[in-house]
Structures are given as structure tokens and as C-alpha cells.
Amino acid sequence: MRSYQPDLTPPWKRSAPVPEVPAEPDLVVEEVATGFCGAVIRCEKTAQGPTVTLEDRFGKHRVFPMEPRGFLLEGKVVTLVRPAPGGPVRPTRTASGSVAVPGARARV
């Protein structure tokens, strides 16, 4: 009787890591399983995990889970991730209600 190694997939046959792309609004991607192609409208965090909403050219919206290797971007397989939150927003108004000018000192 012949014995086999527990790992039937040799290390040289493992697939390369897939790039992670932030799901920015208006990014056009194709969902791998269904072939639905559309622009990213929004990303949400649900009980089942993060989801992305795509809008096709006819205005139809569909929601998909953000699974690894779940989308195509320009013909290449990618993993969509939630975009990083924006940095702190500078105040546009001063304490007195005036318009704040960046880089300008306060005058009396």
C-alpha cells in the first residue's frame, strides 16, 4: 500500500495573493459569480458581514457580500475592502461664526 502526504497541493501550485482594492464610489467592478457589472454606490456593514451595493448602467441596484476574490477589476480578480475613513475635517467656521481661512492668523 502506498502512503500519501497529508497535503495534496504542493506549495508551488498555490495561487498568488489577490490585491485588495478600496471600494470607492463610482469604481466599476464585475461580480465573479453572477457577472453583474456596475459602479460602487455604497459600502455597508451588516450582520452577515460587509456588503457593497453596485448600480448597473440601467440604474438597477444589487447588493453583494465583500468576499475574497469576489470581484473583477479591469479583468483581474480582486478583493474589495471598505474604504479608509477620511481624516479629521477642519472647521469651516470660527467660534464667532466667520468663515475660517486656512493658514491665516486670527485678527482682532
Cβ atoms within 10 Å of 28's Cβ, excluding its own: 14
Tell me which CATH code domain 18-81 carries.
Answer: 2.30.30
pLDDT-wise least confident of 44-53, 54-63, 81-90: 81-90
Q: What is the mean pLDDT of residues 72-88?
A: 89
Q: Taking the domains of the chain in order of start, what are their residue ranges?
A: 18-81
If residue 98 lies in a helix (H) or strand (E), which one and from where to where? none
Predicted pLDDT at 2: 57
What are the residues facing 20 on neighbouring strands? 79
